[in-house]
Structures are given as C-alpha cells and as structure tokens.
Amino acid sequence: MASSEQPCYTLINFNMDVEPPNEMTLKNDIENGDTKTRTESLKKLIYMILNGEKMPGLLMSVIRFLLPMTDHTIKKLLLIFWEIVPKTHPDGKLLQEMILVCDAYRKDLQHPNEFIRGSTLRFLCKLKEPELLEPLMPAIRLCLEHRHSYVRRNAVMAIFTIYKNFDFLIPDAPELIHTFLEQEQDASCKRNAFMMLIHVDQDRALDYLSTCIDQITSFGDILQLVIVELVYKVCHANPSERARFIRCIYNLLQSSSPAVRYEAAGTLVTLSSAPTAIKAAASCYIDLIIKESDNNVKLIVLDRLVSLREDPAHEKVLQELVMDILRVLSSSDLEVRRKTLDLAMDLVSSRNVEEMVLVLKKEVSKTHNVGEHEDTGKYRQLLVRTLHSCSVKFPDVAAQVIPLLMEFLSDTNELAAADVLVFVREAIQRFDQLKPLIVTKLLEVFASIRTVRIHRAALWILGEYCTTSDEIQSLMNEIRNSLGEIPIVDDEMRKAAGEDTEEESIVISSQKRQLTEMGTYATQSALSSAAPKKEVETRPPLRGFLMDGDFFVGASLATVLTKLALRFIGLNTNVKRQNTFLAESMLIMATVIHLGKSGLAKNNITDDDLDRIAMCLRVLAERHSLMSEIFTHDCRNSLQTLILTKQAEEKEQQKGLDKKLVSVQADDPINFLQLMAKADNGGTEDQLTMSLSLATMGTTGKKDLHDISASKLSKVTQLTGFSDPVYAEAYININQYDIVLDVLVVNQTADTLQACSLELATLGDLKLVEKPQPITLAPHDFCNIKANVKVASTENGIIFGNIVYDVSGAANDRNVVVLNDIHIDIMDYIVPATCTDQEFRSMWAEFEWENKVTVNTNITDLHGYLKHVLKSTNMRCLTPEKAISGECGFMAANLYARSIFGEDALANVSIEKPASATPETPVTGHIRIRAKSQGMALSLGDKINLSQKKDAGSKS
C-alpha cells in the first residue's frame, strides 16, 4: 500500500495566480544572480516544492552556489529548503548529495555566530534521517557547553528529539542532560532539560526536583510549569507519591505567574479532594479572575469553578467562598457577570444569603450612578433576576429586597422593570404576609412609572390585590391623578382652543430721547402687546399613553376598574357610596371610549379594546353573580395555576441537573483503587491525555468507541463510480471550525499512476487550507489523502474537484476523473439553545433576513410534523408543551437554535389541519425563519425543504 502521509512541514502561503517559473530560469538565477536574485529564486523554489513540484535537477545547484554563502537570509531559507526537499531515492536510500549538506551543517554547528548555531540545532529537530544525524552528534554535544544560552537550550531540544526518535545515536542522553541540568543557571535551558527528563527518565527528573524542592518558588515561570506537569504525571502514575509532592503544588499556588497558579490549582484539585486543597484551589481561581484583565481568561477560570461546584463533595467548601466569588462582579464584561451570578446563586445558603443580598443591593445602587449603557441595563436585569431567585429560594429576605426592587419601576430601562413586576406578581401571590408591604410600595411608585408596559402590568397587580376599602380608594386616587381631568375629550379640546390661557399683557417700553429735524429733543414711548409664552405642558402618565394611541392600557384599566368596583360593593354596605364608585368607574371607561373615537389621539381605538371596555361596562351595569365570580376570583386562580406550572417545569429541569450529582448508591460495591483497572475509574485517568483527546477527536471514553466506528459509515461519500479507472470515496470528519476529508483513492487499472493528485475547490464560506501532495499509485494499489477545509460561517457549502494523474509510459495528456460534489450540511454547526420570550421577540424584530418556507409534506399529524422539523433542524421548541398540547386544528410554535459561531436562528411554525379535513389530509401552513445573515436563513430553509421532500418520498 502506498501512503501519502508526509512529515509536517512549515506551511508558507503561495499565490497560485502567478505563473510559476521553470526549472532552467531558477537554475540560471541561482548560479549567476546576485544575492537578492538568489534569495528570490530560493523562495520560489520553496513555494514550488511545497505545492508538489519535483525539482531534482536544482539540488546540486543549491549545494554548489547557495550552501557556501554567508548571507543570513539565505541561510534561514536553506533551513526551510532542506526540511522539505526529498532526501531519499524512491527505494528509501539516502541521496549521495546529502553527504555534502551534512558536512555544511557540521560546519554551521561550529560557527562562531550563536544565531547560526541555534537555528541549525532547531533545524536538526525536524530531520528524520539517522544517516544524516550520526556524523553531527559530536558537534551537537559540544553545543551544550557553548557560552550563549540560545545555543545551549536548542542543543538540549535537539538531543531530546534525536533520543526520542533514534536513541541508539546518543544512548547516554538522560545522564548527559541530568549532569547539564545540575550545572546550568539559565531558566530556559533548565526548563528544556527538565522537560526532556520528564519524558525520557522520570526518576532522574524526580531526583533533581528533590534536591531543589525548597527553591522552586524562586524559579522562573517556564520551569515552574514543567515542574507542575512532572508532579501531576508522577502522582497520577504512582498515587503513593502524592504526600511527597503535594506541598510543592501548594507552594506554587503563591507563584507570581498567573499561568503557573492556574495549572497548580488544576493539578491540586485532581490530586487531592481534601477540603483544604479544594478551598486553596478555588481561592486561587477567584484571585486569578479578579486580577486578570482578559475576559476570555476570566470565563475559562469561571468554568473551572463551575466544574468544581458540580462535585457534591466540593459544593460545601465552595459555599464558604460565595462572598469571594461575588468580588468578580467588579468585572465590566456582561458574560462574566452572568456566569458569576449563576454560580453564586447555585452556592448560596441560608447562612450567607443575607450577606449576598447586601452585596447585590450595593451593585444595584452602582448601576444608578453610571451612564446609561446597553450593558448597564442588561446587568441591572441580571441583578433583579438574581434577587428574585434569592427571595423565592429564601422567603425571609424578600422583605429586604422588595423596597429596593420597587425603585426600578420608575426606571427607563424596561427590561429590569419588567423582571421586577414578574417577581412582585409571584411574591404577592405566594407570600401573604408581604402583601400589605408590596401594595403600599407599589402605590408609592405608581405615579412615577413612565413606561406604558410597566404601567399596565403594575395597574393589573394593584387591581388584583387591592382588597381592602382603603387600598381600593388609594388606587382610585392614583388612577384619577394619572388620568387628569375628565371627561378627557372636553378637557383636551378646551386646552386646544386656548380658553385657559392668560390675557395678553400690555407692556410700555422705556422712554427714549430722540433728536427732531429742527434740532430739538423729544421723548418717545411705545405701546406693545405680547402674548405670554406657553409652558411646555406635560400630561399625566395614563392620559399621555391614551393620547399616544395605546388603548390597550385603556382596556386593562377597564378590567381593573371592574374588579375594584365589584370588590368595593362587597366591602361597603352604603348604597350611595356604592353607586358613586360605580358611576365614576363607568365614566372613566366611557371617556376612554369617547377619546378613542374622537380622533384626538394619534391612533383610534381598536375593535378588540373597544369590545373589552364595552364588556366591562355591561358587567358593572348588570352585576351578574357569575361575572363577579370570574373577575374577583377566577383571574387569581389562573395566575396561581400559571405560577404552579412554572414551578413544576423548573423542578423538572432541576431534576435533570441533579441526576448527574448522584455519585454512590447505598448498595453499590466498594471500589478499591489498587484492585481496579485504570479504565474503570474515571478519577485515575490522565486528565492531560483526556483533554488532548477531547480537543483532537471531540470525544472521550471507551463507551463511545462503538458509536464512532458506526457513525463513520454514515459519513462516507462516494466520489467516483465503480467503473472509473480511479475509485475514490471520502470520510467527512467535522470538528467545529475544521473539516477533514479523508479520501480513499484506489487504482483500479493495471498501470502505474504517476503524479496522481487530488484537486479540490470550494463553494460557500469554506477555504481549502493546503493543496494535497501528489502521489504515485502502483497497479491495483490504494492510499489515503487528507485535505483540511476551514469553515468561517454557518451556511451550506459545497466541495468539488477532480483527480488528475499520468499513466506511466503513456504519451497522451493528463487523465482527469471528475468527482461528485460533497455537500457540507449546516446541521453540523447548529445546536439547540434556549432564550426567553422577550429575547426571542427582540431578536425577531432586529433580524433583517427572513425566509418563508411553505409546508409541503405528507405528514398528517400536527405534532408529528413539529417533531419532524425539530429533528431535521436541530432546533429547540420554546413554546411550552402544554401550550401546544391537544387537538384544535392549528398550531403555532417558536423555535430557536444557535450555531457554534454564535449566530442565532429563529423560526416560527404556523401549521393547520382543518377540522373538516379527512385523516389522510396532510398538514398545511408555513415556517418563517429569521437570522442575522442571509446565508443562515437560506440554508436553514433549504434544509427544511429537503427534509420535507425526503419524508414524503419515504412514506409514499
């Protein structure tokens, strides 16, 4: 089997639009050109070799004319050239010319310039031919004694690489490096030497560490990081060594380097689960978050704290650090603050909830003192939600929180005020003892509310929970003040006609002396009239909303007045007072209707609002017992049902989170560490290896191995036909931002295929990283070619291309086999996500790209079609299950997903099946998709269309 696997070379971008020079031109420039011309020719030669061209005729020219030169630029370029140029014959034997190259680099290793020595040593790390390295070993050993640290540290790395690949060339390397380490003073040299001993001879590394364990705090950070790695590896392989080195890790928690402290804290957590160790590591993490300025680092370290909290044994330790965690709120980044508040909310207990509330109240007051900014409003909303959660979880602190939160109602930021009202509505329903306090505070701030939505919601809460005669009268006074003088239409017309303006004032200007034509003096006075300047009139809040044409608040006011009137009649036995209250309530409703039809407001009243107010008038006029029961009791029962349903949903979600926290059951067998296989105990797995595996493969754990091998078959795409001279198929592996194509190429002919190359191109937001190298295929041979593609955004992409080859011994032109297109599915980048209804509506209004897809399927069930769409698009249904349950002939649901690039995708499903339709009638309707980018909206619509057709085809 031929193999296309090549060593990993330095990649250099090459502009493919330029015509490449031929071999004769390059040879002439190298042999006869000046230094600048030779430099450019060598660059072009490197470009061409990297892109698969073979230039064997230029090898001797480079050796004869470029290798003896002393120019540093050419020497650097030659290091790249010798790294990538083929050094062996097709049969694997070393080229004779390479002996000359080896001699030249032996001289460079003895060069007086330290840069040339060091860069040559770095180049030797990349050589894979022991025949070339063997003559250089004495010179490499001598470099360990060079006066300059740059040469010494690169010599250590060269010895490390050579010993790892070809230990027979320098069998005494561990002993040599251990002696070097004991005598070395430079930090970078010590780090490289120590790292080599870790990987090739841990016993010698431990011996050295034991001699200087008390001095590690004075070492440089690069050496400290390697020490942390050694301690982790040793303690993982041999747990009995933990007691010996745990103090070393504790000392490194006090290092001046943030990176060392971070790694030391992570190592300490994996090596010890003692409360003191967990507390020390968590304190170190918190300190790093506070002192580090990079928000990405803050988020990464916060994630480590969150993962610590997921272990039940660590949760109690972290609960003592809640106040320290809240110090992270000093960060200005909203995402950091959100994660911090979520973590603090998970850890808060009855012992420290009061202190946490005090801190949050201070944070709330700080948001009032800074300039209004988008993030300030969102942060205020986060604080309100956290205080809400605190009050629900610990009712004792609700009395402290409510007065503070009420101040938000007069805020111009509608987000925070709306969350306050949601909290107030739940608190007043659940905690009877807080009802008088809430009603009193809400009445105090009612007049200062300036947002129609908040005003309407506050009005509803007061109308529902003002139950005493005094509270009802107080609310009625607030409504009168908020409406101004009634009837509204008459009052507005009077003001418009100017009946209440002041009379014009007469002003006599001051006398001025004038000179007449005759030369005498005279005095002149002027009589002028001036109308007084009208002051800018501010309407009361409720009247202002109505004049702006928002009559929904008028319908809400009518409902509130109806509740108040019916409740007042039940409380008060005085018929005259009853009739007075009823008449005033009905007058207010009538004047709202009159205003809505008068044309004075910006918009006329809608039919729905008109019907609602008219119904309330009729209820008050007739006062039927059934309607009284609905208004006074059933409304509150509906709210109670809503709150209980929401609590049940939250409990279900919490159950799902708590399931993973169950660690050991009472009847589980006892696991003895010494008797267990390492794979059976997650705590003994090497975390470094696991994290590397997770980064490269995207999964860990042996239970997934069967799934991986099974899923590979579903991701294989056939690129050519079975009768083509070259058969090809590709396995597509998508790992977040990268797509790796593993293409199997099979030579189905009896000829040798030379310069067989895979040529690919992309359509969409995809980019080919590098051109695959040409290969030679023997008769009926096969090989694998890998190609990497970068993904930049969430949209469907297409990869197309062909296989080009020459037949050995044939005189005809190159042969081409055209490949089938590879379609990259958008679903590989989209994951289900959640957001609140308010955020969904905000994004729906903000996103400008919409794609409307008509439902065209043979699915006959509404719920079945919705499940099919959710499965096909990886979206999550935001509409609660109870809202879409039952059979009523139509369904509307909101869907939401987010891509791995942070792009949001919204969808609204509106489908129906008329009651008169037969059971075989398919679902009809449409799906509206909205996204910030056009590509995502179109790609998601195409996916839905394709999945509909596929389903219909499979069932027909």
- pTM beyond cutoff 0.85: no
pLDDT digits (tens, 9 = 90+) for 630-673: 887 787 788 778 777 777 777 776 665 554 444 556 666 766 64
pLDDT band at 677 (very low <50, low <70, confident <90, very high): very low
CA torsion sign, 599 to 603 to 606 to 609?
A: negative
CA-to-CA dists, residue 33 to 119, 167, 793, 934, angstroms: 26, 43, 47, 53
672-678: Cβ within 8 A, 24+ apart: 673/239
pLDDT value for 702: 40
Q: Give yes or no for a contact between 30 and 42, defined as CB atoms under 8 angstroms apart.
A: yes
Spatial distance between the Cα atoms of 545 and 549, rounded to a whole number of angstroms: 7
Q: Where are the alpha helices (DSSP H) in 370-413?
A: 374-393, 398-406
The SS3 assignment for 817 reads: strand
Question: Among candidates 701, 798, 705, 808, which has minimal Cα distance to 747?
Answer: 808
Question: Among candidates 76, 165, 98, 78, which has minimal Cα distance to 128?
Answer: 165
Question: Among candidates 500, 659, 635, 509, which has minimal Cα distance to 564?
Answer: 635
Other beta carbons within 10 angstroms of residue 505's beta carbon come to 10
Q: Give yes or no for a contact between 287 and 305, defined as CB atoms under 8 angstroms apart.
A: no
Helix, strand counts (H, E) of the chain: 40, 20
pLDDT digits (tens, 9 = 90+) for 454-504: 888 888 888 888 888 888 888 888 888 888 887 778 777 887 777 544 444
Q: Give yes or no for a contact between 174 and 197, defined as CB atoms under 8 angstroms apart.
A: yes
CA 167 to chain centre: 46
pLDDT digits (tens, 9 = 90+) for 144-201: 888 888 999 999 999 999 998 888 888 898 899 888 888 888 888 888 888 888 888 8
696 pLDDT exceeds 60?
A: no
Spatial distance between the Cα atoms of 460 and 454, rounded to a whole number of angstroms: 10
Helices 275-291, 295-309: axis angle to 10 degrees equals 160
Q: Give yes or no for a contact between 596 and 665, defined as CB atoms under 8 angstroms apart.
A: no
pLDDT digits (tens, 9 = 90+) for 411-454: 666 667 777 788 788 888 877 787 888 888 888 888 888 788 88
pLDDT value for 414: 67
Spatial distance between the Cα atoms of 909 and 927, rounded to a whole number of angstroms: 5
pLDDT band at 516 (very low <50, low <70, confident <90, very high): low
Backbone φ and ψ for 785, nearest 5 degrees, come out as -120, 130
What is the arithmetic mean of pLDDT over 709-729? Answer: 80
The SS3 assignment for 803 reads: strand
CA 583 to chain centre: 58
What is the arithmetic mean of pLDDT over 685-690? Answer: 52
Q: Dump the DSSP string for 93-134.
A: PBPTTHHHHHHHHHHHTT-S-HHHHHHHHHHHTT---HHHHG
239 pLDDT exceeds 70?
A: yes
pLDDT band at 211 (very low <50, low <70, confident <90, very high): confident
pLDDT digits (tens, 9 = 90+) for 53-82: 777 788 888 888 888 888 888 888 888 888
pLDDT value for 727: 93
The SS3 assignment for 950 reads: helix
Q: Mean pLDDT in the chain?
A: 79
pLDDT band at 814 (very low <50, low <70, confident <90, very high): confident
Other beta carbons within 10 angstroms of residue 697's beta carbon come to 12
pLDDT value for 671: 60
Q: Containing H/E element for 587?
A: helix 575-598
CA torsion sign, 421 to 423 to 424 to 430?
A: positive
What is the arithmetic mean of pLDDT over 577-601? Answer: 86
Helices 934-955, 862-873: axis angle to 10 degrees equals 130
Other beta carbons within 10 angstroms of residue 801's beta carbon come to 22
CA torsion sign, 7 to 10 to 11 to 14?
A: negative
pLDDT digits (tens, 9 = 90+) for 106-133: 888 888 888 888 888 988 888 888 888 8
How many residues are listed for the chain in this entry? 956
The SS3 assignment for 636 reads: helix
What is the arithmetic mean of pLDDT over 740-768? Answer: 85
CA-to-CA dists, residue 413 to 135, 383, 405, 417, angstroms: 76, 13, 13, 7
Higher pLDDT, residue 418 or 906: 906
Q: Give yes or no for a contact between 751 and 779, defined as CB atoms under 8 angstroms apart.
A: yes
First and final C-alpha spacing in the chain = 46
Q: Give yes or no for a contact between 250 and 281, defined as CB atoms under 8 angstroms apart.
A: no
pLDDT value for 517: 54
Structure tokens at 804: 């080009």
pLDDT digits (tens, 9 = 90+) for 341-373: 888 888 888 888 888 888 888 887 777 665 555
Question: Among candidates 155, 151, 73, which has minimal Cα distance to 112?
Answer: 151
What is the arithmetic mean of pLDDT over 850-872? Answer: 87
Of the chain, the percentage scoring pLDDT greater than 90 comes to: 4
pLDDT value for 536: 39
DSSP state of 85: S
Of the chain, the percentage scoring pLDDT greater than 70 comes to: 83
pLDDT value for 712: 62
The SS3 assignment for 772 reads: coil
84 pLDDT exceeds 50?
A: yes
pLDDT digits (tens, 9 = 90+) for 90-110: 777 777 888 888 888 888 888
Spatial distance between the Cα atoms of 728 and 722, rounded to a whole number of angstroms: 9
DSSP state of 88: B
Residue 618 one-letter amino acid: R
